[in-house]
Amino acid sequence: MKERILVVDDQRDIADALTRLLQTLGYEAKAVYDGPRAVEAAADYLPDLMFIDIGMPGIDGYKTVARIRGHRECAHVIIIALTGWNRPEDRQRAYESGFDLHIAKPMNVDKLMEVLALIDPKGQTLSPAGRIYRMQSALSKGA
């Protein structure tokens, strides 16, 4: 079974480009363009990984991830903030809101490949703390 990835960004061209790249790499991927649709899609699509922009109008990424984390069916989802908001306080707030990882835009292909390597089936059995430790360890090599 292919891993499922949901991309959430109000900038449709960014969301669609990342989605097409993920599909080309062999993942099942789809895009939505706002927070409310992301919450619905997460519950219906049950992705293994989500990229969510923080700076969306209406319901921002912080509120979106908090709502997704409220769904029991989404407990396994690795959620990554992919955002232009990259100040230390933005990163801190992202982690406090329920994101597993914070990546600043633009994300290069090497970083994307490192992140994708984290969603193997064995990785889904790790606790949230274990997933975060594993991600930080893997990403610290290229940071």
Instruction: Summarize pLDDT for 22-58 with one digit per residue, the tens.
Output: 999 888 999 999 999 999 999 999 999 999 999 999 8
- Flag whether pLDDT at 123 surpasses 90: no
| DSSP SS3 for 120 | coil
| DSSP SS3 for 49 | strand
As to burial, measured by CB atoms within 10 angstroms (0-12 exposed, 13-18 middle, 19+ buried), residue 82 is buried
Domains of the chain and any CATH numbers:
4-140 (3.40.50.2300)
* Chain position carrying tokens 């407990």: 75
